[in-house]
Amino acid sequence: MITHGNKIKLFAGNGNRALAQAIADKLAMPLGDMNVGKFSDGETCVQINESVRGCDVFVIQSTSTPVNDNLIELLVIIDAMRRASAGRITAVVPYFGYARQDRKARARDPITAKLVADLITTAGADRVLTMDLHAPQIQGFFDVPTDNLLGVSVLAKSIKEMDFAKSDNLVVVSPDVGSVSRARQMAQKLGCGLAIVDKRRPKPNVMEVMNIIGDVKDKVCLVVDDMIDTAGTITQGAKALVDVGGAKEVYACCTHAVLSGPAKERLDASPIKKLFMLDTIALPENMKSDRIETLSVAEIFARSIECIFADMPLSKLYE
């Protein structure tokens, strides 16, 4: 039986220290004293330097690049907390790596998202707090309560105050059929129309635009996606909006900016005027650009942690 501790403590791995510190600042409390490094042979080494016995512990760790290192760090930290008799352990995973491997796309494919969910549970996590899982069904992969926060709420709150979003000609665009639900939520929050880029993908990370569903001619377009990896989908979609649809301006936003491989070059060469991204993944120095603006999720994660600690519903965060 899980005993809820009467004291809350935050700890962070190396996955996204800046965000972890920002969350701690919002909660007006320090990050716990813990060393996370490697032994000389590359094995992960974790040392907790303070007592966590009976405490409600929140471990903040995005499993972004280097994905495997950050995932192992998370698992080892959780195991260390469990063996140190923490009362309850919540894995706070702003970006959940391996989320795109959520089904068998081909024969003999693994379902790695389910494997990772099992590993986190087996390590000792009593609860998981994350944001914008790539597929909603991943929430059911976990055998412990899992809260999936909505990145659209954070993006919409900031974007609606910007000049381009106040245009009467604003249209929210889904870059593919799979993102329609997310784009519709954004359109409702901004009070504007919706369009869809209809595309097909002949092979991974290669996208071919077919046509555009909806009127975007002379419109200001905001392309909404949960994740931008190599930026092929979003930049080709933006190009189609201008070349095929006749859009006036194109902006883009996403929850998780993975930005791997040729992403920066593609974004720089695209018609996208500005990309708004959340800081679930730390933006490397070499990826920083005047065309990229980072919005923080520290407040919504801090408020979620307060709700979980107090056994309050998270639904009130969106009221």
How many Å is the Cα radius of gyration of the chain? 20
- Token code pair at residue 32: 């716990």
**Strand 127-131 vs strand 249-257: parallel, antiparallel, or unpaired?**
unpaired
Instruction: Please name which of 136, 221, 135 lies closest in space to residue 174, comparing C-alpha atoms.
Output: 221
* Count of C-beta atoms within a 10 Å radius of residue 164: 15
Residues marked active site are found at 199
Instruction: Please name which of 134, 73, 145, 143 lies closest in space to residue 102, comparing C-alpha atoms.
Output: 134
Instruction: Please name which of 113, 244, 132 lies closest in space to residue 186, comparing C-alpha atoms.
Output: 132
Containing 266, the helix (H) or strand (E) segment is helix 263-269
d(CA 189, CA 172): 10
d(CA 272, CA 207): 17
- Token code pair at residue 316: 């009130």
d(CA 120, CA 13): 14
Instruction: Please name which of 56, 148, 95 lies closest in space to residue 279, comparing C-alpha atoms.
Output: 95
Distances (CA, A) of 87 to 58, 121, 153: 11, 15, 31
Q: Looking up tokens 């290192």, which residue turns up?
A: 69
